[in-house]
Amino acid sequence: MHLEVPVFKRFCFCLPLRHGLIVWGYLRLVLSALTIVAVEQCFSSMLSQAKTEDGVKYTIYTVLLGVLLIFILADILMNIVFVIGGHRKILKLLKAYYVYSIILWITTALVGLGLVIYMIYWFTELEDTEEQIWILPVAITVYIAQILIQVYIIVLVRSVMIKIKKGFEIRFINNAAECECSMFADEDIPDIDETSEEEK
């Protein structure tokens, strides 16, 4: 059975595809910057507590926050790559972000599934959890929404890559021989004026 991935022409069915994705990239950059400030403050607090306290708990939290900081920095870097690729229509940068998005989606799905299973186990094992039972459906809803949004963005990035590839297509039609020749370029084609100036 062959499943064909849809190609969208609009972002959220209203904005132009490429411009909508660029706005999404900038929004992700702002959110990542705010997140990294909050995580860095928690990391500094945990680091000072790990130095003064004897327990291993603060050391583990410090290591986990340090790993999270590295992931957020990598996310910021890839979002910058995506925004540049979107602005300048550079397919290599968009492909790099596309691969990164797929890896991020798989990682989010696995980690989120593990957290949901742990929360279900935690609620079944502990007593007197009636007051906190609302946390579980909220966590599952957020997890499913995150997965669906990431899938939608991956499909949109693929759609904009297909659109840019089609923009690089050049057709030559010979009416006398009734034949047609098409050429596809992987990169943006320089203007004729720029090429002639370089030859001079």
Tell me if 34 is assigned to some domain.
yes
The pLDDT, as a whole number, for residue 177 is 58
Count of domains for the chain = 1
pLDDT of residue 197: 47
Helix/strand/coil for 121: helix
pLDDT in tens, 27-59: 999 999 999 999 888 888 888 887 787 767 778
Q: Answer yes or no: is 5 within a domain.
A: no
Does the residue 17 lie in any domain?
yes
pLDDT at 191: 45
Alpha-carbon torsion (153, 103, 91, 35), positive or negative: positive
Q: What is the pLDDT of residue 145?
A: 93
Percent of the chain with pLDDT over 90: 40
- Residue 65's pLDDT is 85
Q: Is 41 inside any structural domain? A: yes
Structural domain containing residue 99: 13-199
6 part of a folded domain = no
Listed as ranges, residues in the chain with pLDDT below 70 are 1-3, 55, 126-132, 168-200
Q: Considering the domain boundaries, does residue 1 fall inside one?
A: no
Classify residue 17 by its DSSP letter. H
Residue 86, pLDDT score: 93
Structural domain contains residue 88: yes
Side-chain-side CA neighbours of residue 96 (13 Å): 17
Assessment of whether the complete model's pTM goes beyond 0.85: no
| Token digits of residue 35 | 């997140």
Half-sphere exposure of 48 (CA within 13 A, CB side): 5
* pLDDT confidence of residue 122: 77
Residue 7 placed within a domain = no
At 159 the pLDDT is: 94
Question: How many contiguous H segments (helices) and E segments (strands) does the chain have?
Answer: 5, 4
Provide the pLDDT for residue 200.
Answer: 45
